[in-house]
Structure 1
Amino acid sequence: MDDNLTAILYKVNDLRLENRPIPEPKDDEVLLEMHCVGICGSDVHYLVRGAIGDFVVKEPMIMGHEASGVVKKLGKNVTNLKPGDRVAIEPGVPCRKCDFCKGGKYNLCPDIIFCATPPCHGNLARYYTHAADFCFKLPDHVSMEEGALLEPLSVGVHACRQANVTLGSTILVTGAGPIGLVSVIAAKAMGASKVIITDMVPYRLELAKSIGADGVLLIEKNDSEKALVEKVTSAFGGSPTVCIECSGAESCIRLSILAVKSGGTIVLVGLGPPEVKVPLVNACTREVEIKGVFRYANDYPLALELVASGKVDVKKLITHNYKLEETLQAYETAKTGQGNPVKVMIHCNKGK
């Protein structure tokens, strides 16, 4: 056990594979032999820009946060897991002591340690240590790939819970990237009667239909705002009760506000420019509720139940697979979009 090949981002467009020492688990941690690590849009953003908002890569950072692994060694206080357990890794470990943590919103903890968010290291390596209580044992019939996909699925689950999605909800999802797609999956599983998703890329809309979207709207560059609102209301036969905005684009935020039903809810999942121009008076006079979405809290168990029960199929999101040794090629695929990637999965175990 001396091979700990690790993917490290040194600076913009400088990603390297290096052998690092195998870490020892602390008292409340487990040592994991990593299995699957998905590439997220935020990972690519750090690669090409070196920062997301106030999170700036100032020192070499290990990449990866959408992950699953196998328990190899226990810290002395760990009782919930045993060696050999296959687990999904919730990548954010909060302080557990602040008001946010005690109130159940630990995703807002100011001292959270979140994988591959500067200055915290991620888990794209052969071996990695993590807090045992943020590792979720996978049933035998749930694959390691599905375990890694619980991370983006939890974002979709959290977005739907923020929007109070329930039986009969009608939902517009803007942006058919991975998070838009998992939002469709989560919304349908939570009882939405009609989910329609928008995008400018036809193949993503085709995938959306295959994973449960009731309808798709192809957005053209020359569509006017008024025309887009009319497209949405025509597709729904009225106005949707919920809009889940997953693109971060100002135009889509505006569309969500203008298209949602009066008294409805918008959740903003996609992160775009730090400031945007929106029709705020329109939202206020129609009592449109606007909520933010930041990661997730207490959503992993529900996401795991959705997958384990067979209610949702996330495996269709995986379009490309690479070995850990091929990490640089994997990131190139995710960065360039060559081959129409949706979810790129890296397999860290030897012999995959």
Structure 2
Amino acid sequence: MSIRAVVLTEPDTPPVLRAFEVPVLEDGAVLLETIASEVCGTDVHLHHGHLSGVPYPIIPGHVSVGRVLQVKGDVRDVEGAAITKGEIVTFLDVHRTCGRCWYCQVAKASTRCPERRVYGITYSANEGLLGGWSERILLLPGVHIIKLPPSLPADVFMAGGCGLPTALHAVQRGDITFGDTVVVQGAGPVGLCSIALAQLQGASQIIAIGGPPHRLAIARTFGADLTIDIAEHSPEERFRMVRDATGGRGADVTIEATGVPAAVTEGMRLTRDAGTFVVVGQYTDHGTVSFNPHLDLNRPHLQVRGCWGSDLGHVYRAVRTMARHAERFPWRSMINGRYPLEQADQALLAAERQESIKALILPNGPLA
């Protein structure tokens, strides 16, 4: 028996299907039958070689859900429960965080650990089935596994995908509290999830800035009180609309989730004096912007906080939060593309063109 997986051999080349041998599990390892793996902006960046240190060829897919096929030894989830055959699980894509370095121990910022490896991004296909665009996923010893509660269907969790723990991290960085007005720049998965989580965190008014119109329509169903289409309103008009909606002050908290550098300067100016601005969308280098350090930062007494990646706590809390609110928000409305392995190139193109909000790779056929 062989296992099929999608491989990106090098940047800017079409993905190919390759056959892999069934892995022999070492003690502490788990083999999953892949139920679904996401296609996100990170995969588009990988396709075009926009991320440094990627060991091509790779099997993409860093957030996935699978069914346990095989367990070698005593393997437990993050709550200490034994992992058994047939269970539906997800896992933290970050692996081998050392726990010993200065960032892990002193700064408590494991997302900056220099030893960290990431499924679907920094593991080579030559190292095995270490990405989700594959019929099987090998979970190496030490991978953090989280069981999906019965109340959380696999496709609902995957609708959030990596966007939900990333948004959870951003909302935490913003210290959103009861009564806050929150501006969310961007209506992709991170932006939409940020809207839902800001509402759960107690925000009393949420303003979404982005596009196109169908994404803003979903933003309203997720709790946005006001949506502003960037194609219809200039930056000056957007500034006035936010000020008009906030008593002339601006947002208490603004979350940038666009990936567009110009949105950073705009977001600073949309935030009230002594407010908080969280930058989560600048995952890859799209260039520089300029701002006035006196007018945009110092005199407004602005707090600007970067937000990079997510850790086990963010993923665990994302699973628990989505399980509790699986029916409250229309999570599935974000999924508008489901692709078999053979159509991985179409999935990447749809993500790049922003035709899909969340596309899924289904290596073993449609979801039940």
Is TM more than 0.5 here? yes
Query: How does 1:313-332 map onto structure 2 within 5 Å?
Result: 313-332=330-349
User: In 2, distance between residues paired with 1:269 and 1:127?
Assistant: 31
1:312–1:89 CA distance, 2 compared to 1 (3 A): farther
Structure 2 counterpart of 1:273: 286
Deviation at residue 252 of structure 1 after TM alignment: 1.4
- Residue type of the partner of 2:239? V
Structure 1 counterpart of 2:9: 10
CA RMSD of aligned residues (A): 2.1
Is the contact made by 1:318 and 1:345 (CA closer than 8 Å) also made in structure 2? yes
1:227–1:328 CA distance, 2 compared to 1 (3 A): closer
Structure 1 counterpart of 2:359: 344
Deviation at residue 266 of structure 1 after TM alignment: 0.7
Is the contact made by 1:88 and 1:150 (CA closer than 8 Å) also made in structure 2? no
Is the contact made by 2:111 and 2:310 (CA closer than 8 Å) also made in structure 1? yes
Query: How does 1:205-220 map onto structure 2 within 5 Å?
Result: 205-220=216-231
**Secondary structure in 2 aligned to 1:125?**
coil
Structure 2 counterpart of 1:249: 260
Query: How does 1:303-314 map onto structure 2 within 5 Å?
Result: 303-310=318-325, 311-314=328-331
Is the contact made by 1:200 and 1:218 (CA closer than 8 Å) also made in structure 2? yes
User: Does residue 240 in structure 1 map to residue 239 in structure 2?
Assistant: no
1:312–1:157 CA distance, 2 compared to 1 (3 A): farther
1:206–1:141 CA distance, 2 compared to 1 (3 A): same
User: In 1, distance between residues paired with 2:120 and 2:254?
Assistant: 29
Q: Tell me the alpha carbon deviations over residues 230-272 of structure 1, each in whole angstroms, 9 at most, x when there is no partner.
A: 1211133331100100112233111111120111111111125
1:159–1:115 CA distance, 2 compared to 1 (3 A): same
Deviation at residue 159 of structure 1 after TM alignment: 0.3
**Secondary structure in 2 aligned to 1:209?**
helix
Query: How does 1:165-314 map onto structure 2 within 5 Å?
Result: 165-220=176-231, 223=234, 225-238=235-248, 239-271=250-282, 272-282=285-295, 283-297=297-311, 298-310=313-325, 311-314=328-331
Is the contact made by 1:250 and 1:278 (CA closer than 8 Å) also made in structure 2? no
- Residue type of the partner of 1:4? I
User: Does residue 23 in structure 1 map to residue 38 in structure 2?
Assistant: no
Is the contact made by 2:33 and 2:135 (CA closer than 8 Å) also made in structure 1? yes
The correspondence for 2:132, drawn from 123, 130, 143, is 123
* Alignment length (residue pairs): 345
- Residue type of the partner of 1:98? C
User: In 2, distance between residues paired with 1:252 and 1:216?
Assistant: 16
With the length of structure 2 as denominator, give the TM-score of the two structures. Answer: 0.87
Q: Percent identity?
A: 25
Is the contact made by 2:221 and 2:330 (CA closer than 8 Å) also made in structure 1? no
Structure 1 portions without partners, runs of 5+: none
Is the contact made by 2:177 and 2:202 (CA closer than 8 Å) also made in structure 1? yes
- Structure 1 segments, 4+ long, off by >4 Å, are none
**Secondary structure in 1 aligned to 2:46?**
helix
User: In 1, distance between residues paired with 2:255 and 2:342?
Assistant: 37
Structure 1, 141-150 or 62-71: larger mean CA deviation: 141-150
User: In 1, distance between residues paired with 2:69 and 2:105?
Assistant: 31
Deviation at residue 350 of structure 1 after TM alignment: 4.2
With the length of structure 1 as denominator, give the TM-score of the two structures. Answer: 0.91
Query: How does 1:139-154 map onto structure 2 within 5 Å?
Result: 139-148=149-158, 149-154=160-165
1:84–1:169 CA distance, 2 compared to 1 (3 A): same
User: In 1, distance between residues paired with 2:365 and 2:247?
Assistant: 53
Query: How does 1:32-43 map onto structure 2 within 5 Å?
Result: 32-43=32-43
Is the contact made by 1:321 and 1:346 (CA closer than 8 Å) also made in structure 2? yes
Is the contact made by 1:88 and 1:147 (CA closer than 8 Å) also made in structure 2? no
Structure 1 counterpart of 2:79: none
Structure 2 portions without partners, runs of 5+: 77-81, 125-129
